[in-house]
Structure 1
Amino acid sequence: MRVICVLLIGLLFFCCNQNQEKVSKKDLKQEVETLVEPTKPEETEIYKPVPLTVNPYGQNGVPSDALVLLDGKSLSNWVHSNNGRPAEWLLNDDGSMTVKDKSGNIQTKQKFGSVQLHLEWKSPKETQGKGQGRGNSGVFLQERYEVQVLDNNNNETYVNGQVGSIYKQSIPLVKALVPTGEWNSYDIIYHAPKFNNKGEKTKSATITVLHNGILIQDYFKIKGTTEFIGWPKNKPHGKASIMLQDHGDNSRVSYRNIWVRELD
């Protein structure tokens, strides 16, 4: 019996060593194959999946796969943030909308995660106030993360709160404002944060911003909510609205040509 047990144990070790050797040879073969440079062009050609075809200059110059959030005809895609009622900002004859002072922030009915967002905005030509009190508004991604809108022409303020800043978090690379009263554009690439099932953030939100075609935020990792007072917060959340700010000081900021492409 003892002899039989010894033989069985020996056979087991032999089989294990053989399997390990086979695995090792297989792994070695794969490593060698990855080190061998392809010698034919077709060896590095990929044909699937085929990307969706998008018309970059669709209706009114909007990409064909984008969702128009402000069409110049109504504010039907927007509601007030504080009560969910239809937005009461002012719809202008030129198709833009203007903040109705002290009416409150407005936000999209639809909720979003990661997006490409385009919008145009302008501060009133007749300047009033100074610092944060002149032409102040803001674009909030997922209702939490603000890209600052402000008239900074001959109007200085703290640089992590100036136009194009990720409010209180990231100073813009440059100030790319047009003259007061003219239209600015923001093109924003935003990737939403991720959280695990314990509510812990596992991946920070990131944001890239072009102001009038100029890169001003370069894949910045957002630290958390953009707080007026205190440190950024990182409570877990899912998709949420795009929100536009009524700063409450008769800022009279106007918006137009707002569209979004979902990235997730």
Structure 2
Amino acid sequence: MGRKATFLLFVMLGFGIGLSAQEVEPKDPEATEVYEPVPPKVVPGSNGAPPSDAIVLFDGSSLDAWISSADSTAAKWHLNQDGSMTVKDKTGNIETKQAFGSIQLHIEWRSPAEVQMSGQNRANSGVFLQGLYEVQVLDNNDNNTYVNGQVGSIYKQSVPLAMASVPSGEWNTYDVIYHAPKFSRGGNLKKPATITVIHNGVLIQDHFEVEGPSEYIGWPTYQPHGKRPLILQDHRDNSRVSYRNIWVRELD
């Protein structure tokens, strides 16, 4: 066989292999219908209630799901008669007794109607996913600050797409989809954490890839970790932030 014929044979063989590797497009509708796995049934909550598979972290009745981050004793924040809890100044952060990975989080928060101080010192708190990655809570109504530290920011990392706060003294809602980072066996980062935040029905963080733990000074740097608690911050500077109706759905 001559060189030209050999070349044509290889081309034809290669073309044939390529065709055989391609999936033939189905001709019947049944061929593209999938019946397993069947998704679990979740009953949506009504009138502000959590869905049926939610883990309720705070419903206004007690602080039993929370402990002090400083010493693991009982959480010392104020439990209010209206079904909320309020940061008790200088008692420190509180965290969940349960550790979590990827979650859907619903949390409602309120800054005081009586405005005091300004900038980062006005009704400052924060929601720390896995105790490390902060979604900022702050009263930014007529109160400018650095935009990567304003309400709804991933603190010092991602500016929110909008400022969607209600007036001071009214209740805000955060709905968060959080996917935890993934690490190799050797501790190297395989996949960064991602955060999506909807603030009062407005998308303000759109699947943001987190650069590492929230840092006040310096650059964020990942360290390998597993499941960790959710933390609520006592900023210690006239915080007075209240929280209510906190629940999560585990995503892993």
**Fold equivalence (TM over 0.5):** yes
Q: Counterpart of 1:43 in 2: which secondary structure?
A: helix
SS in 2 for 1:42: helix
The yes-or-no answer on 1:57 pairing with 2:45 is: yes
1:29 to 6, 17, 20: 20
Name whichever structure is richer in helix by fraction. Answer: 1
Is 2:57 the counterpart of 1:69? yes
Per mean C-alpha deviation after superposition, the further-off stretch among 55-64 and 240-249 is 55-64
What is the distance in 2 between the residues matched to 1:100 and 1:92? 11
Please, which runs of 5 or more residues in structure 1 have no aligned partner?
1-20
- Structure 1 residue identity aligned to 2:161: L
Instruction: Mark the CA change 1:51 to 1:59 in structure 2 (over 3 Å): closer, same or farther.
Output: farther
How big is the shift at 1:58? 6.1
Cα pair 1:98 1:253 within 8 Å, conserved: yes
Shift of 1:120: 0.2
Instruction: Please state if 1:101 is matched with 2:105.
Output: no
Q: Which runs of 4+ in 1 moved over 4 A?
A: 24-28
Structure-to-structure mapping, 1:30-179, within 5 angstroms: 30-31=21-22, 34=23, 36-57=24-45, 61-179=49-167
- Report the TM-score, using the length of structure 1 for normalisation: 0.88
Matching of residue 216 in structure 1 with residue 204 in structure 2? yes
Deviations 1:214-248 (A, max 9, x none): 00000000000110011102111100000000000
Contact 1:102–1:246 at 8 Å: present in 2 too? yes
SS at match of 1:132: helix
Post-superposition offset of 1:26: 7.4
Distance 2:78 2:196 in 1: 29
**What is the Cα-based RMSD across aligned positions, in Å?**
1.6
Larger Rg: 1
**TM-score scaled by length of structure 2:** 0.92
User: Unpaired runs of 5+ in structure 2?
Assistant: 1-12
% identical equivalent positions = 64
* CA apart distance, 1:250: 2.2
